Amino acid sequence: MQTLDGEVVSTEGRRLASLRVPPQFAMLEYNWAAPSSQQSKPSLVQQERMRSCLKIFVGDLLQGITLQLRLDKDEVDGTPDGRDITAGAKLSPDLSTLQLSVRGVDCNLPMASVRWVRPPADESSGLLWFLPNDRHTMVVLRLAGGRFVRFRFQQKDQAAYFGTCMRFLMKASISESR
């Protein structure tokens, strides 16, 4: 993946699209923000909806999508509030690695290194790395070693869809590595 004129394109030269949310996602009864221990056992209908959404998600990520990578103010010189940069995200064919690409620089994140996927936590200190109205468009991946990757989406449902499906993929990679 590479960036040309501010757009992310695949190595084949195809422009990457934003994440599309399938209509059946709205009928999914799953709260990706809640801990696993608080999730109820899904019905067979809900399991089929999960499979359907995940199949579409994986297909889109195998092709690659464009999203915003959120950088903290400590990571960007001269910007007191941090910054979002356009990035490409693509899954490896074996679904074991999420490849991020920004301005020709690639970073591979093994799915097995993802510890949790959630929206940003409420900050009681008042020091936020995002604007309060952006909270529902953000997804945080906590990685091994205490590192984080933060993504920002254009729409709330895109963040929920990405967070939900990444959480399912993370759980699958954990169970496969055991």
Domains, the chain, in order of start with CATH, read 2-22+42-177 (2.30.29.30)
d(CA 112, CA 153): 23
Local confidence pLDDT in tens for the 178 residues of the chain: 555 555 565 555 567 889 999 999 999 999 888 888 888 899 999 999 999 999 999 999 999 999 999 876 665 566 556 678 899 999 999 999 999 998 888 999 999 999 999 988 765 444 454 555 677 899 999 999 988 899 999 999 999 999 999 999 988 876 665 5
User: How confident is the model at residue 44, as a pLDDT?
Assistant: 95
Dihedral angle computed from the Cα positions of residues 2, 116, 133 and 61, in that order, rounded to the nearest 10 degrees: 30
Location of structure tokens 């221990």: 37
**H/E element holding 61?**
helix 44-63
